[in-house]
Chains A and B, each alone.
Chain A
Amino acid sequence: MKPVAFDYERPRTLAEAVRLLSTNADAKILAGGQTLGPMLNLRLVQPTLIIDITRIAELTRVEEDGEAVTLGACVTHASIEDQKIVDPSNGFLAEVAHGIAYRAVRTRGTIGGSLAHADPAADWLSCLMALGAEVLLTGARGKRRIGVADFMRGALDTELEPDEIMDGVRIPKLSKKARAGFAKICRKSGEFADAIGAVLHDPERGVLRLVAGATQGRPIIIDPATCPIDMNFPPPLGPVRKKLEQSGLAADVYELNIHMAAIARALDKAHAQ
């Protein structure tokens, strides 16, 4: 199928993109287009204006400070896979990136586009929640910063206001001894995950966080503050299972078991590092 006719704009600055977005009610941002493209072709989405943000230099920036690395929203999965960026994660991000969809998708799909679309099965959502990353938003009223965990409100729903654009992702640097693991269970490689497990254990920074992703809504975050586990690694699985049950997975044994399996695999991978 072919998309409906739409206008196309290619702003060179973020300010111009925000202006276009805030003055066109039916506008849609296009980054890599690896989800939007199919949705347009299927006419699931029928915008009057497409705002292509891939020509905005600021959106492919890589910035580093003492605590974190900030990636522009248009950095592709392939750029992360190929380690073309400053890596805050001792190789973890590259490993996750390599598992996203297929190479021909990763070369155009972007980290910001993935987060802004907020499909529960998106790899970056679970991964970056485990890492404690934040997204940077720019709108007509200025800039703000918000944790990925709070950014996603539910399936395909985020805190983005209609006139806001995600311009980057701020990912904390892991300590040398940090262990991170990521596992997903799919029926076919590159497919949507049935379950995702993501784990970060960073004792130097006092972080132990497990994420059960690819649920029907927001990924479930498990840490010592919300679950009776301590900082020891690996954490006992009993309380983790209990937490998943309490978080809405109890009704479906398959869902519960497959998410536990993904977490167990992620823990194994993190353990092995």
Chain B
Amino acid sequence: MTAITLTVNGQSVNAQVTPRTHLADFLREHLLLTGTHIGCEHGICGACTVEINGEIARSCITYAVACDGAEVRTIEGFDDDDLMARLRQAFSEAHALQCGYCTPGMMIAARDLIRRKGGLTGAQIRTEMSGNLCRCTGYVGIVRAIERVMLARPTLSLPTASPRKPQLGPAPGPQPSGSTAAETKAQSATVRLKDASAGAKTGTTPRLSAGSAKKRRRIKVETGSVEASGGATRLTQAFVLEHPRVEVWRLMADAEAVARCIPGMHLDGPLVDGRAAGRMEIALGPIKASFAGEGLVVSFPNEFRQVITGAGGDRKSGSSASGEVAYRLREEVGPAGEDLTRVEVELSYSLTGPLAQFSRSNLVRDLVSRVGENFAQNLDARLSMPDGAEIAPARLGAASLMWRVAVDRIRAGVSKILGRPPS
């Protein structure tokens, strides 16, 4: 629990909150200010809109602890506000509410719009108000109500600008030293920190690397079309390695060696009857997941073809994934007559559980081609070091097949769930 002090509707409030308590829950559960409604709870619907230091904000994605020292105003705090009184009247006259759930957020956002801007017409009002959703779809009445007050704006005495010092960052921003309750905590907390150098990573080695930088070549990876159907995503990739097929096959037939070339892949032990347990780690931006499970490798040496299937679950998110990688090696001859190998890869994978709620495919190509590039580079590095013993397991910031998952998640999270871009 963290102690916070803030002003809510003009009254000073001291409270103990857990850091994960968002402002909307704090207002509703701790202060019983239930006029702030919670709709989507991830920043898309606008029902929870309040003012923080005079600017409107989503209280469901602002944490109460971050409002230490702030001035919060909820719908209950506008009882005596002239502009809000006009809006209330207009909302009533124009039938601008049906179930009323979006209304507190609508009114706070509308008041802010009229305060900031004059002379907007219907279409402009719709655009400006598009961050507030009405599930009853009663937009006609809402826009009409706002239009009426907008028309009367020149005759209204608008709220005067805040006497506060203008702030450039999210409110409440930097505070005088020790002025707020959580400040004291933040300072004392530094005691438990270790020496910074202890945790610092060394150098700026590229995260996508495995193996020696000396022999590094850029391997161009072609990514074919991406298809998603029936919950599975399929795609093809191909790249050319400057090594004879026999050599490439020797490496690629060794599933453990191949696994070490896949970013984020770790095997728990050696393959037994073509089976192995392991995990795939993903770090996509702030999202981290580790799919633990089992894989099976089936080789077709006559065709220089191998199929790896695997399935696993991420305990943290409760999601599971399954996938198949099939590759085939074809002989090619380079411009100077050298033996090359074209590696054709077919990938398919599917996901279930929370990580799979969202689907969006337009980021796939970028991610997968980066995974493929990375994999190809790592294979090439291995092939260029015949003993290969000293090549570190692949590690990266950027890729694993599961990345796509996470990205879809984020994008859809932001698109479908959040309904708006990250900011």
| A 129-161 contacts with B by CB, 8 A | 139-141, 153-157, 161
A140 contacts which chain B residues (CB < 8 A)? 196-197, 199-200
Q: Which of B63, B128, B225, B286 has the most CB of A within 10 A?
A: B286
Q: Map CB proximity to A onto B41-52 as digits: 1 under 8 Å, 0 otherwise.
A: 111101001001
Complex CA–CA separation, A52 to B196 (angstroms): 18
Segment at the interface with A among B76-84, B334-342, B381-389, B411-419: B411-419
- Chain B, residues 172-212, CB within 8 Å of chain A (1/0): the string is 01110100001100110110011011111100100000000
Residues of chain B lying within 8 A (CB to CB) of residue A31: 170
Chain A contacts for B204, CB-based, 8 A: 161
Asked if B168 and A192 make an inter-chain contact with CB atoms under 8 angstroms apart, the answer reads no
Residues from chain B with a CB closer than 8 A to the CB of A5 are 18-20
| Pair A156/B196 contact, Cβ less than 8 Å | no
> What class of interface size applies to chain A in its complex with B?
35 or more
Distance A44 CA – B356 CA, assembled complex (angstroms):
11
B423 touches A41 (CB 8 A): no
A255 within 8 A of partner (CB): yes
A15 (CB) vs chain B CBs: closest residue: B196
Chain A residues 15 to 48 lying within 8 A of chain B, measured CB to CB, are 16, 18-20, 22-26, 28, 30-47
With A102-B130, A157-B398, A191-B415 as contacts: A122 and B365 at CB distance below 8 Å: no
A75→B43 contact, CB < 8 A = no
Least CB distance, B405 to chain A, in whole angstroms: 11
Tell me whether B423 and A157 are in contact (CB under 8 A): no
In the complex, B287 has a CB within 8 A of chain A: yes
Contact A190 B131 (CB under 8 A): yes
Residues of B within 8 A of A59 (CB): 169
Alpha-carbon gap, A12 to B199, bound state (A): 20
State whether A154 touches B66 (Cβ < 8 A): no
**Chain A contacts for B307, CB-based, 8 A:** none
Contacts of A16 in B (CB 8 A): 190
- C-alpha spacing A109/B146, complex, angstroms: 26
Q: Contact at A110–B60, with CB atoms within 8 Å? A: no
Query: Is A121 at the interface (CB under 8 A from chain B)?
Result: yes
Report how far A117 CA is from B368 CA in the complex, Å.
Answer: 19
A233 on the B face (CB < 8 A): no
A44 touches B55 (CB 8 A): no
Q: In whole angstroms, what is the CA distance A16 to B189 when docked?
A: 11
Q: Taking A189-B130, A216-B366 as contacts, is the C-beta distance between A156 and B284 under 8 angstroms?
A: yes
Interface of A is mostly: loop
A219 to chain B, nearest CB (A): 11
- What residue in chain B is nearest A18 (Cβ atoms)? B196
What is the 8 Å Cβ interface bit string for chain A, positions 112-131, against chain B (1 contact, 0 not)?
Answer: 01100111111100000000
**Do residues A11 and B131 form an inter-chain contact, with CB atoms below 8 A?**
no
Contact of A175 with B by CB under 8 A: no
CB<8 Å pairs between A and B, sample of 29: A8-B19, A10-B182, A11-B186, A19-B196, A22-B201, A23-B194, A23-B199, A31-B170, A34-B422, A37-B58, A41-B43, A44-B317, A54-B169, A55-B174, A74-B169, A78-B55, A79-B167, A101-B131, A101-B421, A104-B56, A139-B200, A188-B130, A190-B131, A190-B420, A191-B421, A216-B363, A248-B365, A248-B366, A251-B365
Task: Identify the 9 closest CB pairs spanning chains A and B, nearest first.
Answer: A109-B423, A102-B131, A217-B366, A37-B61, A35-B422, A8-B19, A74-B169, A38-B42, A140-B200
| Further pairs besides A54-B66, A76-B170: 20, Cβ < 8 Å | A16-B190, A24-B199, A30-B66, A33-B61, A39-B287, A41-B41, A44-B406, A45-B286, A45-B288, A46-B288, A47-B286, A102-B46, A107-B170, A117-B422, A119-B421, A155-B366, A156-B407, A189-B130, A217-B365, A248-B366
